[in-house]
Amino acid sequence: MSTHDELIQKSKEYLWLPFTQMKDYEQDPLVIESGEGVMLKDTEGNAYYDGFSSVWLNVHGHRKKELDDAIRTQLEKISHSTLLGMTNRPATELAERLINITPEGLTRVFYSDSGATSVEIALKMAYQYWKNKNIEGKDKFITMKNGYHGDTIGAVSVGAVDTFHRIYEKLMFESFHVPFPYVYRHPSGDPDICKEECLKELKKTLENHHHEIAALTIEAMMQGAAGMILMPDGFLTEVRKLCTEYNVLLIVDEVATGFGRTGEMFACDHEGVVPDIMTVGKGLTGGYLPIAATISTEEIYEAFYDDYIHMKTLFHGHSYTGNQLGCAVALANLDLFERENIVAQVQQKSSFIEAELTSLHELDYVGDIRQLGFMVGIELVQEKETKKPFPWEERVGYAVSLEMRRLGMLTRPLGDNIVFMPPLSSSEEEIREMIRIIKEAIQNVTTKRETTVGSTK
Ligand SMILES: Cc1ncc(COP(=O)(O)O)c(C=O)c1O
């Protein structure tokens, strides 16, 4: 077995990490060895709070007995067999459970293995749906500015975060970008005015182009990767109405928000919105194994259902689709949601988080704090009053995340937004301690900056 030093060395020599400038990694390498509850441990034995649920996945903490047992039990039977042309027990049972908990009207589960693939499938489903119905010309998509749906090219094509997506412009298919109601920066500061303006733009785009649009993609309630941007109340409902009015399918991406994260089982439930297609991943297995799903209405499913010779089949699949180990742990995850009343717990603990976060408001360099349930973005700004950002090249958010690591907590910032998305099982004491670390890290980094750059307030 490799020693800690050997692992660090090998990681630098052989690995290429996702969303990571390897030059940064070389300076601050980290190898995780184990986890327990909300804590992670590295190969030197240092413990860290998992303050971002290992990239927004973890629900019940690490090494949750019921989830570990579900995998062991499934292992005694089989690890994997294909879903191409056949099914298996856990995938079938999980499909039924998903249909029972997702919004009424969604009836069919198509599995894959990551959030991005669940979105790819949603796009292909929507595109082919119109073709199968012999309605020509509906080939494009509408997406929200700053939307993020994953990193495969289809998902990137309906994404609109400049930093991640601009470079791939020529690889992308064309999408219409409409404004997302970014209330925090709207000159009026009024959610209703901001919402109405965005809806007006969307309506205009639909009016002019609905005949060329297959579907609209949107993250449910909270734009995650954009920096945790919360929608004003009623926006999603209005988007649903407009899509229906203009005969455009609504794809709601619940990859980040699904499974209790925002204080409802799905973020759509905050407004009782029923999409035509919903994508889920991340928390589906409690953060254990890579299973995702694209869930559609019966109407969409029926457009693909015909004799083979009519070529209406959805020609899409992945080798590990419907993996038994993943589906078995997802079933155990859903059992825990019921048994431990996770959604109600999240609602109750969200108020606690909100109250604890007030102590960050007093910091000079904290701008907006945006929260929906266990999904929090803490924005760092150079000027509190005007919300003027720090120069991006300074990477203040990154510096704060490294300082948090030194203080015993892991997260990944989104630019200068500190992400706080702990496992849903976090206790109030754990939450309090994590927020204390965030505060200390922000103070340490900004104080140090003041001494080097000078106060820029
Ligand atoms: C809203 C949303 N959709 C899709 C994805 C992509 O999921 P994955 O990383 O599992 O491909 C993410 C990932 O953060 C996400 O936040």
**Closest residue CA from atom 16 of ligand 1:** 256
Q: Find the 173 Cα to ligand 1 centroid distance in Å.
A: 19
Please tell me whether residues 256 and 373 are part of one structural domain: no
Q: What is the CATH number of the domain that holds 378?
A: 3.90.1150.10
**Domain-located, residue 276:** yes
**Domain-located, residue 118:** yes
**Domain-located, residue 46:** yes
**Domain-located, residue 414:** yes
pLDDT score of 185: 77
If you average pLDDT over residues 404-415, what whole number do you get? 97
Q: Find the 400 Cα to ligand 1 centroid distance in Å.
A: 24
Q: Find the 148 Cα to ligand 1 centroid distance in Å.
A: 7
pLDDT single digits (tens) 297-336:
999 999 999 999 999 999 999 999 999 999 999 999 999 9
Q: Find the 320 Cα to ligand 1 centroid distance in Å.
A: 18
Please tell me whether residues 187 and 321 are part of one structural domain: yes
Please tell me whether residues 136 and 218 are part of one structural domain: yes
6 and 44 Cβ atoms separated by less than 8 Å = no
Place of tokens 């204080």: 263
**Residue (of 264, 268, 226, 254) closest to 416 by Cα position:** 226
Q: Which of 339, 358, 391 is the last residue of a domain?
A: 339
Give the atom of ligand 1 at the shortest distance from the alpha carbon of 256.
16
Please tell me whether residues 168 and 310 are part of one structural domain: yes
Please tell me whether residues 198 and 307 are part of one structural domain: yes
**Domain count across the chain:** 2
**Residue (of 238, 239, 229) closest to 184 by Cα position:** 229
Q: Which of 293, 313, 339 is the last residue of a domain?
A: 339
**Domain-located, residue 6:** no
**Domain-located, residue 311:** yes
Contact residues of ligand 1, CB 6 A cut-off: 56, 114-116, 119, 148-150, 219, 224-225, 253, 255-256, 281
**Domain-located, residue 241:** yes
Q: Determine the structural domain holding residue 117 and report its residue range.
A: 68-339
Q: Find the 149 Cα to ligand 1 centroid distance in Å.
A: 5
Please tell me whether residues 230 and 260 are part of one structural domain: yes
Residue 161 has pLDDT above 90, yes or no: no
**Domain-located, residue 21:** no
Q: Find the 316 Cα to ligand 1 centroid distance in Å.
A: 19
Q: Which of 323, 339, 355 is the last residue of a domain?
A: 339
Question: In angstroms, rounded to a whole number, what is the distance separating the alpha carbons of residues 223 and 236?
Answer: 12
**Closest residue CA from atom 9 of ligand 1:** 115
If you average pLDDT over residues 17-43, what whole number do you get? 97
Q: Which of 152, 251, 282, 320 to mutate to test the pocket of ligand 1 (most atoms within 8 A of CB)?
A: 282
pLDDT score of 165: 78
Q: What is the CATH number of the domain that holds 156?
A: 3.40.640.10
Please tell me whether residues 123 and 167 are part of one structural domain: yes
Instruction: Report the mean per-residue pLDDT for the chain.
Output: 96
Name the 3-class secondary structure at 87.
coil
CA quadruple 233, 247, 317, 168: dihedral sign? negative
Please tell me whether residues 367 and 335 are part of one structural domain: no
